[in-house]
Amino acid sequence: MKNSLRFLFFIAAILSFGLINGQGSVLKGTVRSSDDGETLNGVRVQLKGTSEYAVTNLIGEYELKLPSVADVFFTPKSPPPVLIFSLDGFEPVEIQPGGKTLMDIELKPIQAPDFMIESGTAAGLESKNMCFSVAQVSALPRPRPPAPYFGLDLQARIPGLRVQQPGGQPGQAAYFQIRSANALANGQQPLVIMDGIYLNGTSLADLNPDDIEKVEILKGSAGSSLYGSRAANGVIEIFTKRGNKLEVGDTKVTYRGEAGFSKAINRYPVNEFTNREIVDPDGPQPVLGNTHETGIFDIPLPNLQDYQEDILFRRGAFQEHFLGVQAHSGATNFYASAQRFRDEGILQANDAYTRNTFRLNLDHELSSKFNLSISSMYAGSGQDLPDPGLFSDDSYLHHVLALTPIFGLEAPNEENGAAYDWDIDNTGMGGINPLYYKANSTQSLNRNRLMGSFGASYLPSDWLSFHWTAALDKTNQRFSQFLEKGFLSSKVPGLFGSYATAGVQQSNGGGIFRSELDNRAFISNIKAVIKKEFSGFNTAIQGSFLYEDFSEDLQQSSGENLIVAG
């Protein structure tokens, strides 16, 4: 009996020790680049030998829970925890936290071999000879496919470059920051050039990342001064594949198919309690009374619903099919590609974004002194949007999260018997039934884009050359919003007036809004380049003339008080 009691006491002591020491500790810190001190986003901080990890945020901060003493109590020979800090383009670091709760780390960029820089130079220079800051990213063969939208994987490979996709919606382009103030949009974008084509400022989501061979980013004003009035915030120059890197006589055909899904990792926190009396707890429309005496939110909400699971988020599928052909026959090289990309996204109210792109690049050497070059791309994309402004108070997302989660949203409308009761919220908060909004309001965005450039080079001697380029980027973008006849709302969407609501001055309600935006960017560039040795110095001199023409044409029309249903 005594031995049994001693054994039970020993077990209780062990459990008590585990409870005391089972909380573990949380390690926090910031990861920076040792090259320029810039914070690094997307660094993976992993506990070696486990699946536990954290990822640094936009300002380089991380937070990771470390194992407790209790976790290793029965394995006294287990080594102390080791953390691995890793990011593409940087040397990984392994370090023992040693009981620390705050630890800042610097990662050293991998020193790539010297490469030729074309952007911002007269005749191309090796990177080690550049007198201003420049970075280059090449499309190196990797087991994983490129990001679906241009630029999303650049930040992890170029120190000092900040990339954001604020809304995260399918079809939404990334914003870049190189030299400008702390704003990633609203006029602070750098100039983006693709194969000599000055892009007109329309969405970069039209670009197919599979076509890109390399990207050069000019961070200094010295290089940017060669590119005209739009280069004040830096320059991102994109070079697409042309087939000229193949051996003469070679042909390369590439097909890539990709499929997967995306989902929301976390959920928005929702209040599941109220400070009001429960008058009627039964659905689909429970009734809350007055605020009780204490005013504390300690009464569980009746008929609790999970709107985020039921009507907001989903596991959205995406798929891509890509076919590329390139060849080099000596005097001629070309690259041709076609891509179809479809991304459903994680919001149930958002129809899939679909993009079709086609590209043809061709270089031909007419003689030893005269060369021609053609680059062209067509992109067509379209999608149904959840609403004009994802984060506005008229948005589907706002309607879902602002509505008290107690109502059965499938209840019919008592005014006209239509599906979904638009004003089912009886709490006085003025919430709109998201399902009614979704069923009676549609928004679509369609875009067609044509890009092309034609260039010619004349080399009268081995030290003198003349180059001419003409490039055009033309985009047509059409947006439309439709409200069904009989539309009911306490707050009409911002693009419409009061007559879009049924019953206002005997209006039938409903409305149509359409806009068409044409963007056009044309440039013509003539330059002469001298490459000659003077008194033992290798010299490259460039003189150029640049003509820029940027235009934008917007047309809008709208109508309300519809006669017939759509």
Answer whether 64's CB lies under 8 Å from 54's CB: yes
On whether the CB atoms of residues 545 and 469 are closer than 8 A, the answer is: no
* DSSP for 259-326, written as a single string: EEEE--SS------EESEEEEE--SSS-EEEEEPTT--S-EEPTT---HIIIIIB--EEEEEEEEEEE
Among residues 566, 533, 552, 547, which one has the least CA distance to residue 123?
Answer: 533
Confidence check: pLDDT of 248 > 60? yes
pLDDT digits (tens, 9 = 90+) for 164-203: 776 667 887 777 777 554 444 445 678 888 998 988 777 8
Q: In this structure, what token pair is assigned to residue 70?
A: 């209790």
The lowest-confidence range among 110-114, 302-306, 468-472 is 110-114
- Cα torsion angle, 111, 209, 160, 118, sign: positive
From the list 512, 491, 509, the residue with the least C-alpha distance to 500 is 509
**Residue 384: its pLDDT value, please?**
82
Radius of gyration of the chain (CA): 30
The rounded distance, in Å, linking the Cα atoms of 545 and 549 is 14
293: number of Cβ within 10 Å: 8
The residue type found at 462 is D
Q: What is the mean pLDDT of residues 310-325?
A: 93
Residue 192 exposed, middle or buried by CB count within 10 Å (0-12, 13-18, 19+): buried
Which pLDDT value is given to residue 139?
Answer: 59
CA distance 441 to 238: 39
What's the distance, CA 345 to chain centroid?
12
**pLDDT digits 0-9 by tens, 262-315:** 888 888 888 899 999 899 998 888 999 888 888 899 999 999 999 999 999 999
The CA distance from 292 to 297, in Å, is 9
The pLDDT-based confidence of 350 (bands split at 50, 70, 90) is confident
Which domains occur in the chain, in start order?
A: 21-107 (2.60.40.1120), 116-240 (2.170.130.10), 273-304 (no CATH), 322-560 (no CATH)
- Residue 20 token pair: 């005391």
How many Cβ atoms are within 10 Å of 381's Cβ, its own excluded? Answer: 20
Task: Decide: 140 and 67 in contact? Cβ < 8 Å.
Answer: no
Quick one: pLDDT at residue 137?
A: 66
What would the DSSP string read from start to end of 160-211?
Answer: T-EEE-SS--TTPPPEEESSS-S-SSTT-PPEEEETTEE--SS-GGGS-GGG
What is the pTM (predicted TM-score) of this model? 0.74
Name, in order, each residue with C-beta under 8 angstroms of 542's C-beta and a sequence gap of 6 or more: 122, 123, 527, 528, 529, 530
Instruction: Look up residue 200 and give its two tokens.
Output: 């007109």
Mapped onto helix, strand or coil, the DSSP state of residue 16 is helix
- Angle, vertex CA 199, rays to CA 194 and CA 203, nearest 5: 110
378-397 pLDDT per residue, tens: 999 998 876 544 445 667 78
Encoded amino acid at 115, one letter = F
Distance CA 559, CA 556 (A): 11
Q: Which residue has the tokens 């000599």?
A: 196
pLDDT at 564: 84
* Per-residue confidence band for 34, with pLDDT thresholds at 50, 70 and 90: confident
Among 179-188, 210-219, 280-289, 404-413, the least confident range: 179-188
Count the neighbouring beta carbons within 10 Å of the beta carbon of residue 187: 9
Nearest Cα residue to 250 out of 336, 367, 366, 330: 330
* Average model confidence (pLDDT) across the chain: 81
Output the furthest CA–CA distance in the chain (Å, rounded).
107
